[in-house]
A = this chain, B = another copy of it.
Amino acid sequence: MKFLHTADWHIGKKLNGFDLLEEQEYAFKQILTLAKEEDVDGVIIAGDLYDRAIPPIEAIKAFDGMLERLNIIEKLPIYAISGNHDGANRLNFANQWMAENHLFLHTKLEEAFQPIEIEGIQLFLLPFFDPIDARIYYGVEDVEEMKTINHAMARVVKDLEKKFDPNKKQVLVTHFNVTGKKNPDYKLTSETTSTVGGLNSVSAEHFNKFHYVALGHLHLWQASPDEHIRYSGSPVKFNTKEAKNEKGVYIVELSEEGTIYLKFHKIKPNKDLIVLKGSFEELISEAFYTQQPTKGSAFFSIKLTSRSCDSHIRQKLSDIYGDIVELTYHLPSIELTEMDKKFKVRTSRSIEEVVENFYADVTCGDSLTKSQKKIVEDIVLTLNKKENNQ
């Protein structure tokens, strides 16, 4: 049996206000082509189908269209689950009609325990859940008894294993932060801030008895916790931390003996996400920008390495590069030390002097007008009075 394993589509996600729908559509078409070329027996989508619980209408239309092309037009079975970004209850609508056409979309913990039986394989679709969902499902009233996701997962997996058919191979599809021997210290987590190995992570050991575990949640395939427990990563770069990482999907083949053959297939971006670092002067120099992708052909994240007194920085950079999804300052530490010294000098001056110097600094040399000086003096006077009254 041969599957295409993908995850974290996050349909509807924007990158600092820039729409990624075209990018997602471009990635989807490659997934569709690959699934057909490889003649897979099904497509696994391991959660975070949408970017949020109530997705915008455009996202719903786009996602509906993608499922239609895979499942109705190409007759490819789909094995999908909801992730932490999805609204499980809304996504659940009409899933019984989809199941009749071999589109399985599980959004509730209780749905995980009935495996989908296909030729030689049992597919368990375990959607993202919180410990509280498991406590409700198992009727556990004492929080301490099932406090973390690891406690809950131990119980869940035990019940999944009860359904194991020894004549079949078992595949699990799930959506968590899973840590194992290959990624014990993996710091490049998903968009969430949860620390790997902490209360929110699940130990890969739970999944030892599965032949293959198709994970979603972490956006980088490199974060996979074990040989047979894999993240496919997202098909699209969703933030600048992911800019340098290749994106793609896995083609997973399970032989009758239980051997896994894995191949990672790259997904090319339409508009790539490029990080540029340099001074403003460098970035607007022809020698530099002619070396970069042309305007409109990429999203740019720009890190300025020095301050500039040009008052149209963003405009001038946009004119050259087009879609600037991020513009930040990354001042070298040497300059900060200089500032630090300046600050120490300033503290021996009067407040009025400090304000005047600060104003000159941020405006690249302007002086306070007479009326501005008056305002500063009045404020200092009032503050001094208050201090004396205390």
Interface residues, chain A, CB within 8 Å of chain B? Answer: 54, 57, 60-61, 64, 67-68, 71-72, 87, 89-90, 92-98, 100-101, 103
Contacts and interface: CB of A to CB of B under 8 A. Distances in A.
A60 B88 CA distance: 12
A22 to B, nearest CB: 19
A110 to B, nearest CB: 14
A380 to B, nearest CB: 39
A72 B94 CA distance: 11
17 contacts: A57-B87, A57-B89, A57-B90, A60-B90, A60-B92, A61-B89, A64-B93, A68-B96, A71-B97, A72-B96, A93-B93, A93-B94, A94-B98, A97-B101, A97-B103, A100-B100, A100-B101
Contacts of A95: 94
A71 B100 CA distance: 12
A279 to B, nearest CB: 47
The CB with the most chain B CB atoms within 10 A, among A68, A87, A95, A97, is that of: A97
A62 to B, nearest CB: 11
B89 A60 contact: yes
A252 B340 CA distance: 85
A68 B71 CA distance: 21
Given A57-B90, A93-B93, A97-B98, 12 more contacts: A54-B54, A57-B87, A60-B92, A64-B93, A67-B94, A68-B96, A94-B94, A94-B97, A94-B98, A97-B101, A100-B100, A100-B101
Nearest to A89: B57
A75 to B, nearest CB: 12
A12 to B, nearest CB: 13
Contacts of A94: 64, 67, 93-95, 97-98
A168 to B, nearest CB: 27
Q: Which 6 A-B pairs have the closest CB atoms?
A: A94-B94, A57-B89, A97-B97, A97-B98, A64-B93, A60-B93
